[in-house]
Structure 1
């Protein structure tokens, strides 16, 4: 049947009654023609698709600055909770910047230590603006060392916000000085405004420098299992939820190194800015990513059940449920269009036994059979009995000892068995093989 697709398979619970090919039966059939009977049964339509086991989250922590991995507090394969400290990096450059910012903060004026003349005010303001600009540039440089674009953007937003706050304070100080020059404000007001601007500048410089140093303590952004280094190129990490509360600056994701090169960093080893240190993989809820052909995807709905087989676990079958289907397509290397279907993966077992199947690992190849439709108590015929005649699905039936073409409307269908909604009744004798040798009105011999 030409309209059946190779990806779709039918499992039918119901017997197809075929006349045995004995010498007596051959007397009633044309040469090469086989007869059978339409039956009642249950038909499941299965859409088969290739897929991959995926972890719901895999977050790679990278070094925000060059330094030394002084403490590696976990072992590969160890389970960690969200927020656990996993490693500490020592970066003399960032720590030096923080110490200098702390010293400047301690020396910042708090209402005094500013000039009394307006020309002195202008000079101090210019010097403070220059110091603030340098501090913001250093913070922006630290942000540029973050490898992940989203995390880099978050730190730069923090720098931009500090820059805007300081600009407003500096402008307020300038306005106060201009008011003194025009004789419409007191000198104490200008002193207070300039002191506030100086204090804000040093506080922001220290907070940004401290955030950069705090980022050297790598914490688990999610609960999961630790592996050293980054993720493989074929399995990009998901970094949602890495922005943590409490002032902890999140880490960025890193990529794997060149093939044949061990990119894991030992304790005490040098680490370059942006180098992946370790990855936390959340394996508590494994899923599947399936590629469903465009000709089948409209049959796949949320909640559809599936059976899964893994290349790595021959003989084992796993259960799965469709969670979502992507709206936008993907294009295969051969030019075909498919849609990514995401499924939740459950435990598996070996057929005919109570033995539990092994837990899959992310990245394993899978064959996914989605039960997209089912017809119960349905009239079924073999797919070989259906042919297209003048654009109409047709089945040859035996009527009063002669062959007659009956137009049919199909329901659930596949390679082996199809559901007939109209045109053929259960128990009716039909041609199940050699339909191309049958002529309308010919007598069944």
Structure 2
């Protein structure tokens, strides 16, 4: 990336009045300083900001090996156009297959466990016991009624009543204890169900991950585009646009059965049959259907830039060719360049290519000329006529009597060679454009 450039402008287009310059020499007038005059005229002034830029692609995606193994198949060649979903390569990974088999076994085991709740019917047992006790007390009363001795019969009945009362108290205590036990068993059953469900979910997730890894061993194009073997050669300048900055060249190989064989070590691309690690870049797909630019505009100029403004780009690879472009977005956050200055990334779309112009490649260096302001039919003077005095823009004006008058002016749009004057001058007045340092107020000017 070239260093940031200061604001500049391109030559203005004059609407009609040609700048009239008059050169004076000391020989022609002994009293007049050697100066050059020019007439204040009307023209269109365009202010341009120059910024270093790079060509970007619409999108780029690098496909990597999802697991360690070997490159079993490479089904594409460098520079080949591929469609979305097309098979690009296949990685063989016994370890990934083994993990999938283990995850399947764990999932099947978790499903078989069922997670049933333990069941203990204490209340039912107590009901049977209460029924048997009631029958026993009834039989005891019947037997007591058969005793002829009144005193003995009453004594026995009193014992039966006392025993029945004691049993009811004991039965109530047993019922409370049984209820507590039953509630504990129910809570234990709920906990076991939750644990079993969590185990099944964990096993399912592990299986899904292992399955996805195995499926990913077949590398398919996520976007349509041109194939480059291996990863990108340089970093993208606009990650938010998934831009690829770098050439589209890759390792060259020879076609063979089942795909393309690439010699090991060419552009860092593994050969078919060579081992690969998880994360090894196999192929990159670059969508070049829409090209753009990412420019770095200095903070002193960024407030002049707006979306929709026109621009031109000149590539280092195609000097003299102006590629039309339009600003589409401006980053909110700054980025520090190599010099430590603060700049903002400006995104542009490239328009139709000029006739006969070469097609740019992603990553090519360029200069973007952003046309930030324009003033049509404006009062203008050559840029050399304006100088600064006491912090104010000033010009030397030839008065009606031919003498020099220093006058403050207000500058609007700044072109490379021409400045718009919004206040202080009228069309047709004469100003000094060369030799202003030799002029003093009251000097005779022709």
The TM-score, its normalising length taken from structure 1, stands at: 0.72
Provide structure 2 residue ranges, at least 5 long, that are not aligned to the other structure.
121-179, 243-264
Deviation, 1:30, is 2.5
Deviation, 1:234, is 3.3
For residues 22-171 of structure 1, what are the structure 2 equivalents within 5 Å? 26-27=28-29, 30-106=32-108, 108-110=110-112
Q: Provide the C-alpha distance between the structure 2 equivalents of 1:273 and 1:286, rounded to a whole number of angstroms.
A: 32
Match of 1:382 in 2: 382
Match of 1:289 in 2: 294
Whether the 8 Å CA contact 1:16–1:381 is kept in 2: the answer is no
Match of 1:372 in 2: 372
Match of 2:127 in 1: none
Question: Please, which of 345, 348, 352 is the counterpart of residue 347 of structure 1?
Answer: 352
Match of 1:301 in 2: 306
Q: Provide the C-alpha distance between the structure 2 equivalents of 1:314 and 1:389, rounded to a whole number of angstroms.
A: 39
Say yes or no: does 1:271 pair with 2:273. no
SS in 2 for 1:262: helix
Whether the 8 Å CA contact 1:59–1:239 is kept in 2: the answer is no
Say yes or no: does 1:208 pair with 2:209. yes
Provide structure 1 residue ranges, at least 5 long, that are not aligned to the other structure.
119-177, 242-259, 350-354
Aligned pair in 2 of structure 1 residues 86, 403: CA closer, same or farther (>3 Å)? same
SS in 2 for 1:210: helix
Q: Provide the C-alpha distance between the structure 2 equivalents of 1:62 and 1:239, rounded to a whole number of angstroms.
A: 20
Deviation, 1:307, is 0.9
Deviation, 1:114, is 7.5
Match of 2:229 in 1: 228
Q: Provide the C-alpha distance between the structure 2 equivalents of 1:64 and 1:410, rounded to a whole number of angstroms.
A: 61
Match of 1:419 in 2: 420
Whether the 8 Å CA contact 1:67–1:271 is kept in 2: the answer is yes
Match of 2:435 in 1: 434
Q: Provide the C-alpha distance between the structure 2 equivalents of 1:190 and 1:307, rounded to a whole number of angstroms.
A: 70
Q: Provide the C-alpha distance between the structure 2 equivalents of 1:279 and 1:234, rounded to a whole number of angstroms.
A: 13
Question: Please, which of 285, 299, 315 is the counterpart of residue 320 of structure 2?
Answer: 315
Deviation, 1:45, is 1.1
Q: Deviations over 1:219-246 (max 9, x none)?
A: 22222211010112433785989xxxxx
Aligned pair in 2 of structure 1 residues 427, 320: CA closer, same or farther (>3 Å)? same
Deviation, 1:17, is 2.4
Q: Provide the C-alpha distance between the structure 2 equivalents of 1:240 and 1:47, rounded to a whole number of angstroms.
A: 23
Whether the 8 Å CA contact 1:19–1:35 is kept in 2: the answer is yes
Mean CA deviation greater in 48-57 or 200-209:
200-209
SS in 1 for 2:318: coil
Aligned pair in 2 of structure 1 residues 180, 66: CA closer, same or farther (>3 Å)? farther
Deviation, 1:344, is 0.8
Whether the 8 Å CA contact 2:383–2:419 is kept in 1: the answer is yes
Whether the 8 Å CA contact 1:6–1:415 is kept in 2: the answer is no
Match of 2:162 in 1: none
SS in 2 for 1:182: helix
Whether the 8 Å CA contact 2:309–2:370 is kept in 1: the answer is yes
Q: Deviations over 1:264-290 (max 9, x none)?
A: 122222211111111111211111111
How many residues in Structure 1 have an aligned counterpart in Structure 2?
359
SS in 1 for 2:288: strand
Aligned pair in 2 of structure 1 residues 90, 423: CA closer, same or farther (>3 Å)? same
Match of 2:341 in 1: 336
Aligned pair in 2 of structure 1 residues 32, 211: CA closer, same or farther (>3 Å)? same
Aligned pair in 2 of structure 1 residues 418, 28: CA closer, same or farther (>3 Å)? farther
Whether the 8 Å CA contact 2:46–2:415 is kept in 1: the answer is no
Q: Provide the C-alpha distance between the structure 2 equivalents of 1:384 and 1:49, rounded to a whole number of angstroms.
A: 24
Deviation, 1:110, is 4.1
SS in 1 for 2:205: helix
Deviation, 1:22, is 7.5
Q: Deviations over 1:10-40 (max 9, x none)?
A: 4222244224447799449833211110111
- Please give the root-mean-square deviation of Cα atoms over the aligned residues, in Å: 3.3
Q: Provide the C-alpha distance between the structure 1 equivalents of 2:402 and 2:296, rounded to a whole number of angstroms.
A: 49
Whether the 8 Å CA contact 1:54–1:287 is kept in 2: the answer is yes
